[in-house]
Structure 1
Amino acid sequence: MSQGKTTTDHKAIRSWAEARGGRPARVKGTGKGDDPGILRIDFGEPDESLEEISWEEFFEKFEDNELALLFQDEGESRFNKLVHRKQS
C-alpha cells in the first residue's frame, strides 16, 4: 500500500471524492441547528447511517474544525480519513 497524502484543498478533495463516486455526508443524529455534526464522504450506495449534505456545508464545517483529508490517491482506492490539521 502506498503512503497516504494529506490535503486541505477543497477542489482537490471534491475531485478525488467525486472521481470515486463520493458525496459529502454527515452522520445522522449528530450536530444541531447549523452544525452538520460528524462529517464523512459516502461512496456507492447511500449508507443508511449517513445523510447527504452539500459540498458548501461540508467545507464550512471542514474549515471551522481545521480538518484535513488523509487519503490514498492510488488507483480507485477510497481510503480516507478526516484528521485535525495539526495531526497531518
Structure 2
Amino acid sequence: MTRNHEVIQRWARARGAKPATIAGTERGDRPGVLTFNMPGYRESSRIREVTWDDWFRTFDSRRLNLIYQEQLRDGRQSNFFRTENPNREDG
C-alpha cells in the first residue's frame, strides 16, 4: 500500500498503464472513480484517460491509498490494484 506518487507512477508505467477515471462518475469538473487504463486488461468505453496531475490531485484530495500487488504467486507481474480511503466509516 502506498501514497507515494513516484511509487505509483513506477508501478503503472511498468505495466503500460495510464491514469484514468471511469466516465459517468465525475463530480462536476473533477475526475470520478480513479483507475488505470491498462492495454488489453481494463479497456472499456467507460475508461477516460486523465493527466497524472489531475489523477494525483484527486488522489490526494480524497486522501486515498493505492493497494497494489507487484507479482502473482507464480512470479508473473500482477496488475492488481485498488484505491481506498482509510477514513471511510463503512471501510
Same fold (TM over 0.5): yes
Gap regions ≥5 residues in structure 1? 1-5
Q: Counterpart of 1:84?
A: 85
Question: Where do residues 39-78 of structure 1 align in structure 2 (5 Å cutoff)?
Answer: 39-45=34-40, 46-74=43-71, 75-78=76-79
Matched residue count: 82
Matched residue type, 2:84: V
Q: Counterpart of 1:10?
A: 5
Which of the pair has more CA radius of gyration? 2
Task: Point out 4+ residue stretches in structure 1 off by more than 3 angstroms.
Answer: none
Bigger share in strand: 1
- Percent identity (aligned): 32
Q: Counterpart of 2:33?
A: 38
RMSD: 1.6
- In the TM superposition, residue 47 of structure 1 has moved relative to its aligned partner by 2.2
- In the TM superposition, residue 86 of structure 1 has moved relative to its aligned partner by 4.2
Deviations 1:14-45 (A, max 9, x none): 11011001110011112144311111111014
In the alignment, the residues of structure 2 paired with residue 41 and residue 77 of structure 1 have an alpha-carbon distance, to the nearest angstrom, of 14
Work out which structure has the larger RCO, using CA pairs closer than 8 Å and 6 or more positions apart in sequence. 1
